[in-house]
Structures are given as C-alpha cells and as structure tokens.
Amino acid sequence: NGGLVSTMTYDGAPIGPIELQELKDKLVLAGIDVPDISAEGFLFGAENNDPVLRVYGGLSLDLLILSLDLQGVIVPATKSLGASAMIRVQL
C-alpha cells in the first residue's frame, strides 16, 4: 500500500467536495479504478497472489575454527537479487 499526502488543487484553487466528485467521475468514465482519494491526498494498494519462484544457492567453507557462509538469491520474475555473508567462530 502507498499514498500521497498533499494540498490538492483543481484549476489552481484548493479542491472542494464538488471538484473532488468531478475528478472521481472523470476517472470512472476513463475506465480507471478510483483510488481512495480526498482533499488531503490519496491512497492506493496492490496485491498479487501469484506464486513467486525464488532460487537460492549457498556455500559454506570451514577453516579450522572459522566458518564462512555465503548465500545468494534471485527472483527470476522481477530479476531481484539478494546476498548474505556470515563468519562464525566454532570451538
């Protein structure tokens, strides 16, 4: 979810209830989903329930008492990448 807080104007004047309703009517006529809008701004949201494939890979290296763990992840649909590294002392 997200939104915008702002002073809204319509033709250079602060927006009132009549102008706000005109704006909503124009959005409906254009076939656009009307967001939760008021004179102080608007809110919008998006939801996606499609399954997302994430591919993980990792490597662990043990050197005497030190362990080094590396991990990477990619989400092919969005091309998002992530990585982490950790060093541990194991006695």
Q: Are 43 and 33 in contact (CB under 8 A)?
A: no
Strand-pairing partners, residue 28, are none
Quick check: 16 pLDDT over 90? no
What digits encode the pLDDT tens for the residues 23-72? 889 889 998 887 777 777 777 677 777 888 999 999 999 988 999 999 99
Quick check: 2 pLDDT over 80? no
pLDDT of res. 6: 74
pLDDT of res. 17: 82
**Helix ranges restricted to H, 1-91:** 17-29
pLDDT of res. 49: 79
